[in-house]
Amino acid sequence: MALDVIQFTQHGFGWGPVTGLSALAARLGGGQHLPIPLASVPPRGRVLAGLAASLLPRTGPRRERSLLVVCPVPGALSSLLAEPRLWRGYNRVVAWIIDSFWLERIPSALRLPVPLNQLYITGADDLSHWRARCSTPVAVLPWGADVLDATSRMVNKGVDLARIGRQPTAWDDDARTTAAAREAGLSFSPRPPFGDSEAAALNNAHRAYSSARAVLAFGNLASPSSYTHPTREYLTGRWTDALANGCLVAGIPPQCVEAKTLLPEQALIRVPSDNLALGLEIIRTRLRAPGEQDTNAIRRFAAAKLDWRLRLRAVFADAGIEAGALESELNSLAISMAALPEADHEWS
C-alpha cells in the first residue's frame, strides 16, 4: 500500500514548510506528491483539475493506494469534494487542514457523509468546533518541523538574533533593529530574502535559523496582519523550525494549547512587542548569562516532540500505510541526537 499526497497550494512563499511536509509524506509513503494550485480546482478551473488528476494513478490501481490531502485552509475541502477525479477509487482518503483556526470557513458540506476517512487539524482549541460540524472523525496533529533535515545544517551559531517573518511595528524596521542591536552589543540578521521561488525562500530561512542563537517570533495577536486571524491564537512553523534548529525564540508566544505543550519555557525569551530597546536588553542579558542556552537540549526536545515523522505515524496508521521507512528515519534521528555532546540539562 502506497500513499499519494495531493497538496493544495496558495500563492506566496510562506508555505514552504507545508510543501516540505507533503513531499516528506509522499516519499516515506512510497507515493506521488502532487501540488495543485487551489485556484485550479472547481469552480474556477475544471480543466486544470482534470489534468492534475491524470498525473495520479488510474482508478483501478488506486485500490492499492491511499490518499493524503494537505489543505492550507478549510475551504480547500470544498474544492476537493467538488472534483471526484482527484480522490475516487482510493482505498482510504485522509485530509490535513493546516490553518484550521478559520472556523467560519469550515464547509457546510462536511456535515453530510463525505468520502473522507479521517480529518486532521493543527489546533486542539479548534477540535470541538470541527467535530460539531463534521461527519468525519477529526483528530489533532499540530505543527511540527523536519528535525532530521535540520541536523544536516548544524553549524556554529555566529548570529545573536535573527528576524524571520512578520514582526510588530516596533521590530519591523530591520535597519532600525540592526542599529539598536549593535548599540546593545548584539549581532542581528534581518529578514532573509524570499528569492525567486518557494524553495529559495525556504532555503534562505533555513540558513538564517541554522546560524542564529535566537529568533524573533510574535504570536498573531501580538503581531497582527491582514492574513492572520483577528481573534484566535495559534502556533506556526516559525516557532517549531526555530526549535528544530536549536534556537531560542524571543517574542510573545500565542495563547493556545500547542504553545503550552510544544514550546519549552526554557527556550523562550519573553520580550515586549512595543519596546525595541527593552526587548534587546532582555535578549542580551539572556544570551550572555552562563548556561542559559543549550542548543543541544533544544534540538533533543525538538526531536522528541516536533519532528513531522511523529505526526505522520498517525497518518500512516489511519491510511493503512506500512511505516518501515518512517520508523527507519526516526531511528536515524535518535542516533543523531545521541551523538550530540551531553547537554547541561534536558527539557520535557
Return the number of other C-beta atoms located less than 10 Å from residue 111's C-beta: 13
Q: Which residues of 8-30 are buried (b: 16+ CB within 10 A; e: fewer)?
A: bbbeebbbbbbbbbbebbbbbbe
pLDDT grade for 38, boundaries at 50, 70 and 90: confident
Q: Where does the chain show beta strands of DSSP type E?
A: 2-9, 33-37, 65-71, 93-97, 118-121, 138-140, 159-163, 188-189, 212-218, 248-252, 268-270
- Of 346, 253, 312, 242, which is closest to residue 94 (Cα–Cα)? 312
- CATH code that applies to domain 147-300: 3.40.50
Any bridge partners for residue 71, and if so which?
Answer: 97
Between CA 257 and CA 100 the distance in angstroms is 14
Task: Note the pLDDT of residue 204.
Answer: 94
Whether 44 has a pLDDT exceeding 90, the answer reads no
Q: What is the pLDDT of residues 200-216, one digit of tens each?
A: 999 999 999 999 999 99
Compare 199 and 63 and report the one with higher pLDDT.
199
Compare 13 and 202 and report the one with higher pLDDT.
202
Helix (H, G, I), strand (E, B) or coil at 129: helix
Q: What is the mean pLDDT of the chain?
A: 92
Between CA 159 and CA 201 the distance in angstroms is 19
Q: What is the pLDDT of residues 233-245, one digit of tens each?
A: 999 999 999 999 9
Between CA 144 and CA 342 the distance in angstroms is 24
Task: Note the pLDDT of residue 14.
Answer: 86
Q: What is the pLDDT of residues 64-99, one digit of tens each?
A: 899 999 999 999 999 999 889 899 999 999 999 999
Task: Note the pLDDT of residue 47.
Answer: 47
Compare 47 and 97 and report the one with higher pLDDT.
97
pLDDT grade for 49, boundaries at 50, 70 and 90: low
Whether 45 has a pLDDT exceeding 60, the answer reads no
Task: Note the pLDDT of residue 103.
Answer: 97
Average pLDDT of the residues in 168-182: 98
Q: Does domain 2-141+308-332 have CATH number 3.90.1150.10?
A: no
Task: Note the pLDDT of residue 96.
Answer: 98
Q: What is the pLDDT of residues 273-322, one digit of tens each?
A: 999 999 999 999 999 986 656 899 999 999 999 999 999 999 999 999 99
Sheet holding 188-189, edge to edge: 188-189, 159-163, 212-218, 248-252, 268-270
Any bridge partners for residue 120, and if so which?
Answer: 96, 139
Residue intervals in the chain for CATH 3.40.50.2000 = 2-141+308-332
Between CA 290 and CA 162 the distance in angstroms is 21
Burial class (CB in 10 A: 0-12, 13-18, 19+), 248: buried
Task: Note the pLDDT of residue 130.
Answer: 98
- Of the chain, the percentage scoring pLDDT greater than 90 comes to 80
Task: Note the pLDDT of residue 226.
Answer: 87
Average pLDDT of the residues in 222-248: 95
Task: Note the pLDDT of residue 51.
Answer: 59
Whether 23 has a pLDDT exceeding 80, the answer reads yes
Q: What is the pLDDT of residues 327-344, one digit of tens each?
A: 999 999 999 999 998 765
